[in-house]
Amino acid sequence: MSVATAMIIGAGSQLSQALAKQLSAQQVSLVLFVHDPESLKQFAESLPDEVAVYPLSIDQPQAVIAQLNEAWTTHNGAHLVIVNTGVNDYDPALPWSIDQHAIDVNVMGFAAASQCIFKLMCEQGYGQLAAINSIAGQRGGPNVAYHASKAFAENYLQGLSMHAQRLKLPVTISDIQLGLFDKAVHLNTQLLLSPIDKVAGQILTALKKGKRRVYVTKRWRIVAWINRLLPEYIYNTRHWKPKKKRG
Ligand SMILES: NC(=O)c1ccc[n+]([C@@H]2O[C@H](COP(=O)([O-])OP(=O)(O)OC[C@H]3O[C@@H](n4cnc5c(N)ncnc54)[C@H](OP(=O)(O)O)[C@@H]3O)[C@@H](O)[C@H]2O)c1
């Protein structure tokens, strides 16, 4: 028998699937939202506990609100909802289409999903809303809209947390500040790179502790701290300096 229900919004990503596996092994019943539900069929069947899969149109705010409300009613709510959607593209020519896509998915879609779930949890009287965010939100960066959208997410979550306090409800808002894994893979640095199961494990441990904000993996807290302290003339130029080739 399931001990709790968790929803994962953006279940197609590798990290979402690692989270889903670990939650399912802990007898948590899962409700997964994904762009193309057919693509997740085999994965869902491989999980030990109950799983339902629903479509997700994260770039269409009204549609996503309707999709979440419908599933919430069908499953009588949820204890935990993890929002893990996002796009991150880069082109130095800065075409508007890249920024627009990031704003549609990472800002509009993110806000629509988070606000909708927050209100549903307030009606329910409890719950935990967690979002996979990024330390990229701490400062501007070359993927202009992506960095800005992560700052938006951080502030949005803090605002929701304030409202939970105002309403005196046990609704926890958790901001998961993820390190830059793609960058770590690119640089091939074992110091910063962590296996995805370890990342998922640390996220779930932090969520169980009800953390408001957490760096994953832990060592990224130090990178984030240095990142914040760098003077702008160093922070800005280090992005453009040509990298020395490894021998
Ligand atoms: N990867 C990293 O290095 C890294 C580092 C720090 C933080 N993060 C954060 O982690 C989160 C996920 O990023 P990721 O790198 O794991 O990316 P990812 O693997 O591409 O996951 C993004 C998720 O968003 C979904 N998505 C994107 N556009 C969608 C749309 N229009 N409709 C429905 N679903 C859509 C994708 O679904 P489909 O696969 O079905 O399209 C996928 O499940 C982001 O918030 C990102 O900021 C990632």
**Is 247 a domain residue?**
no
Which of 57, 84, 202 best tests ligand 1's pocket when mutated (most atoms within 8 Å of CB)? 84
Structural domains in the chain (count): 1
226: part of which helix (H) or strand (E)? Answer: helix 220-229
User: By alpha-carbon position, which residue is closest to atom 19 of ligand 1?
Assistant: 13
CB 127 within 8 A of CB 171: yes
Asked if residue 157 is part of any domain, the answer here is yes
- Six token digits for residue 203: 């996220």
Q: Are strands 80-83 and 127-134 parallel, antiparallel or unpaired?
A: parallel
Confidence at residue 192, expressed as pLDDT on a 0 to 100 scale? 61
Expressed in angstroms and rounded, the spacing between residue 168 Cα and the centre of ligand 1 is 32
Distance between Cα 87 and ligand 1 center (Å): 5
CATH at 145: 3.40.50.720
How do beta strands 171-178 and 127-134 pair? parallel
Indicate left, alpha or beta for 127 from its phi (over 0: left) and psi (-120 to 50: alpha): left
Q: Which amino acids bring their CB within 6 angstroms of ligand 1?
A: 10, 12-16, 34-36, 56-59, 84-87, 105, 132, 134, 150, 178, 180-182
In a domain, 174, yes or no: yes
Is residue 243 in some structural domain?
no
For residue 215, the Cα-to-chain-centroid distance in whole angstroms is 12
Residue 52, domain extent: 4-238
Q: Report which ligand 1 atom has the smallest distance to the Cα of 15.
A: 16
Look up residue 139 and give its DSSP letter. Answer: S
CA of 32 to the centre of ligand 1 (A): 14
Considering the chain, what percentage of its residues have pLDDT values greater than 90?
83
Digit-coded pLDDT (tens) for 70-122: 999 999 999 999 999 999 999 999 999 999 999 999 999 999 999 999 999 99
- The helix/strand/coil state of 157 is helix
Q: What is the pLDDT of residues 129-154, one digit of tens each?
A: 999 999 999 999 999 999 999 999 99
Q: List the beta strands (DSSP E) in 15-85.
A: 28-34, 51-55, 80-83
Ligand 1 nearest-atom number relative to CA 153: 45
